Amino acid sequence: MSPPQADPAARRTAWHESLERLRASATTEPGRLRIIGAVLAALLVAFGAVTVWQVTDRATAADAVVGHSQPLSADAADIYRSLADADTAAAGGFLAGGQEPRAVRQRYEKDIALASRLLVKAAANTDASDPAGPQIAKLNEQLPVYTGLVESARVNNRQGLPLGGAYLRYASERMREELLPAARALYETETGRLGSDYGHAKALPWPAFATGVIAIGALGWAQRRNYLRTHRVLNHGLLASTAAATVLLLWLVVGHGLARAGLSDSYEHGARSLQVLNQARIAALQARGDESLTLVARGAVLTPDGSDAYEASYRQGMRKLVGGDGVASSAPGEGSLLERARSLADGSAGRDPVAGAIEGVREWQQRHRDARASDDSGYYERALPKVIGEKGSTGESFDRVDTGLRRALAQEQGEFRQAADDGRGALAGLTVGAVVLAVLGAAGAVLGIGRRLSEYR
């Protein structure tokens, strides 16, 4: 036999009776007080719950800025820099002839190893739907092709065969047309992720603010109602509940304000500066590679207007770095990478390395003009030591620029970490505090209303 079914009419009658009893109780003062107490307690519990949700959400995003998206953005910049530096080292080693300097060879191998290791790390932090996935796959696919071409160029160069120059030019083209664009796209993807995490971490917790204001407003109304009916100024339970809700709201406002200020500072004086310095260092590396390839190609690669393609690319890199015509500059132009890096730096510890890099670029440009004058006049053997020599060469000036930018990056990385840690630290303890204060507030509201109810017994 099937179990007996409840009569729908009976269910409707029971529901109707419950509603009637609730309506009847609301017509009496004790009933109204019970409803008010329940609503106040529910509002305070809701305030605590929404605060915990909002703070946890912001804290998670702030942790992602420090522990995930910014390190991945820095790794992507290091992949780009390592690839550009490897190309520069390969060209420099080729210019030295069959006996490639050991230091140059080690620099190239170190760059390739670093790029490979960081690509493995990036792949481990990427899932199938991640927009960075295609760039990582392309880099992993093209890097062995590039290193194979460089090895072919090196073998032919040791044997004195002109084919080595062609292999090196083809390897450099592969680097510039395949690897570096993929590395730049990866960097832009990770930088976009960093910006998204920043925006999420700094978003104002409007639901928590609104719930807190409503809860405090309801408590104020309840106390005013109590005063009008009893002429008693204070209800200790409701007063304690109001104090707990007010403390929690103020804690939320101040804590989030401090977190927002710290994160904003870490972006303006850390992450943003790091982005500009990374771009400047990459531009310097590419300009150095172009300078070396100008001597390797010996005019074999031309622009549509018939000028040397690598020399034109060198000047373009210099324009990015310091502005002007890319040939000479007395001071970095407005909007140039080094001018922006100098304006974003804080204090002498941040500005001095950038100033050293600017002086290095000025010296580099002067020595480059001298080397080009020798080469254009047909004195290749005189131009070569002016580019790759140990003393008085453009290579020495480039090292000065790269060292200054590396020091500036280390300084700004420290500034970023300190400001970001201060920002996320401002939210510490707020979730636990929200739970405790919400429970205390709800208990205070129940006790305060219970005190009034006891007067009717």
Query: At residue 239, what is the residue type?
Result: L
Sequence-ordered list of residues with C-beta below 8 angstroms from that of 392, at least 6 positions apart, any chain: 367, 386
Only one residue has tokens 């000047």, namely 315
User: Nearest Cα to 189, choosing from 199, 178, 181, 201?
Assistant: 181
Which pTM does this prediction carry?
0.79
Longest dimension (CA), the chain: 112
CA-based nearest residue to 124, from 191, 59, 71: 71
pLDDT for residue 226: 82
Phi, psi of 302 (to 5 degrees): -120, 155
The SS3 of residue 323 is coil
Joined tokens for residue 283 = 């531009």
Amino acid at 178: E
Instruction: Give the C-alpha distances (Å, rounded to integers) separating 339 from 117, 284, 318, 321, 404.
Output: 33, 14, 13, 8, 14
| Residue whose pair of structure tokens reads 């210099």 in the numeric block | 318
- Angle, alpha carbons 51-55-58 (nearest 5°): 145
* Sign of the torsion angle spanned by Cα atoms 357, 358, 359, 365: positive
Taking the CA atoms of 311, 312, 317 and 318 in sequence, report the sign of the dihedral they define: positive
Phi and psi, residue 272, nearest 5°:
-65, -45
CA 64, CA 193: separation in Å to the nearest integer? 10
Per-residue pLDDT in tens (0 to 9) along the chain, 457 residues: 455 555 555 555 766 766 666 666 666 777 788 888 899 999 999 999 999 999 999 999 999 888 888 888 889 999 999 998 899 889 888 888 767 788 889 999 999 999 999 999 999 888 777 888 999 999 999 999 999 999 999 999 888 888 888 898 899 889 989 999 999 999 999 889 988 999 999 999 999 999 999 999 999 999 988 888 777 667 889 999 999 999 999 999 999 999 999 999 888 878 889 999 999 998 998 898 889 888 888 777 788 888 888 889 899 999 999 988 767 766 788 889 999 999 998 888 889 999 999 999 999 999 999 999 999 898 888 998 898 888 899 999 999 999 999 999 999 998 898 888 888 888 889 999 999 999 999 999 999 888 877 776 5
Under DSSP, is residue 334 helix (H, G, I), strand (E, B) or coil? coil
Contact 393, 383 (CB under 8 A): no
DSSP string, 379-431: -HHHHHHHHH-SSSSHHHHHHHHHHHHHHHHHHHHHHHHHHHHHHHHTTTTHH
User: What is the distance between the alpha carbons of residues 233 and 235, in angstroms, rounded to a whole number?
Assistant: 7
What is the phi/psi pair of residue 415, to 5°? -65, -40
Measured CA to CA, the distance from residue 417 to residue 154 in angstroms comes to 42
Please check whether residue 250 is in contact with residue 434, taking contact to mean a CB–CB distance below 8 angstroms. no
Chain centroid to Cα 8, Å, comes to 60
